[in-house]
Structure 1
């Protein structure tokens, strides 16, 4: 499987004022030859679809061709009613895009990173998954101790196998290496992904509540111990809280 290039070719810069033809030329979709997952820009992903791809519900911004979209509830993956109530009124969903055509995905202007797994596993924050191939097995995990806070870390998706995965982050992601005896502690709202070999623990620290601005009286952190990595973003992402 061909790995997409890290950065798509730069488009010609637009002058402050430009003709309509200059605008169209500079912004027209280009074929970068990256295969199934093609980064049109660092914030827009094109799926060159000829089959099926799992996508985050609501991430499709445009498409052409013969493409069918089917919602799959995460509840069908074994997540309980607590997740359905806590995440959204309708439950969090993955949408299957299937057919032949081009599908364009984006998520609130967040930066997109494309990763190729080779019989490997990664856990991605539920807010930060964008798309992944059906050759990859996935399972939904809920962090029950975080359910009371408005956190993007409420549910996570564990991906295992071989294939392409697209994740998102606010601004540039950074990865911290976890080593034995050198644990890493992160804010759940700023945690994007971590290696499948790690099982983070949720801890609280009242002494940090004023520093982190938590209104609940407690500061929640994720503690990673062992060998692996954890990817963070320079932004605290807060998930939508639905009315009960």
Structure 2
């Protein structure tokens, strides 16, 4: 057997000796790959060598668009201008890129006041210049969305990056009296451009219609159509079913036309009053 390594898509596997010292097309990305010779008897297998590791994990340098997935947990931004990123998400960069934490009045007094009222904690960093920027968020899975005159609401904790020309605002889901200390916030993004969101594991998108409302756990809810206005509700029986301790069981109800994105994991975004 000989080792097949594609630097284009990262596919790595063992193939038959008959392909040794030949060029074959990658079955995944169709790129031509040169195959080395078989290991000689008595020599260490190259399968777990440093050169094999470097080859399998090397950057892909696709350079196709502004936002690209280097892997499903690593975002590549081919920067030539400015983008907003989640503070602390930069893991590496190449080229001349300057990072500036957003100023207290960077987005105006209105958004400053909304942050104070909602307790919205996502701090943004402005990345400017020309180069390649790599972002990640604790190994969460990344999805890229290209807005084309549309709008989407994203939980602030799940927003990784967005283009500078995207319009955004902080939205507040009104609390049920005495239920939440600060309600639940989200970020509404609209216009034309790229955004990147994160989820724990694979996201699931549920369709919402006027005759088929969707109920979700706020801590597992990642994003939803900008046209939807969710409501917070409580369900004591649901609390009992889930085995919660004290307090009310909080749910989000979506009704109308659109979609809701959830993740198979609960993150704590707020505290009960």
TM-score, structure 1 length as denominator? 0.84
Kindly indicate whether residue 213 of structure 2 is the aligned counterpart of residue 189 of structure 1.
no
| TM-aligned CA distance change 1:53 to 1:221, over 3 Å | same
Match of 1:164 among 194, 214, 231: 194
128-137 or 10-19, which deviates more: 10-19
| Secondary structure of residue in 2 paired with 1:211 | helix
- Indicate if the aligned counterparts of 1:45 and 1:104 stay in contact, CA closer than 8 A: yes
- Number of aligned positions between the proteins: 228
Q: CA deviation at 1:81?
A: 2.3
Match of 1:56 among 83, 86, 92: 86
How many Å separate the matches in 2 of 1:125 and 1:187?
Answer: 13
Q: CA deviation at 1:149?
A: 5.6
Kindly indicate whether residue 116 of structure 2 is the aligned counterpart of residue 81 of structure 1.
yes
| Secondary structure of residue in 1 paired with 2:201 | coil
- Indicate if the aligned counterparts of 2:101 and 2:125 stay in contact, CA closer than 8 A: yes
Instruction: Pick the structure with greater CA Rg.
Output: 2
Kindly indicate whether residue 261 of structure 2 is the aligned counterpart of residue 231 of structure 1.
yes
Aligned counterparts, 1:4-153, within 5 A:
9-12=9-12, 18-72=48-102, 76=107, 77-78=111-112, 79-84=114-119, 91-145=121-175
Q: CA deviation at 1:41?
A: 0.4
- Indicate if the aligned counterparts of 2:179 and 2:248 stay in contact, CA closer than 8 A: no
Query: Relative contact order (C-alpha < 8 Å, sep 6+): which is higher?
Result: 1
- Indicate if the aligned counterparts of 1:74 and 1:140 stay in contact, CA closer than 8 A: no
RMSD between superposed Cα atoms in Å: 2.7
| TM-aligned CA distance change 1:224 to 1:55, over 3 Å | same
TM-score, structure 2 length as denominator? 0.75
How many Å separate the matches in 2 of 1:140 and 1:31?
Answer: 35
How many Å separate the matches in 1 of 2:224 and 2:205?
Answer: 9
- Indicate if the aligned counterparts of 2:86 and 2:122 stay in contact, CA closer than 8 A: no
Q: CA deviation at 1:12?
A: 2.4
- Indicate if the aligned counterparts of 1:150 and 1:239 stay in contact, CA closer than 8 A: no
| Secondary structure of residue in 2 paired with 1:145 | coil
Instruction: Point out where structure 2 has 5 or more consecutive residues left out of the alignment.
Output: 1-7, 15-44
- Indicate if the aligned counterparts of 2:80 and 2:131 stay in contact, CA closer than 8 A: yes
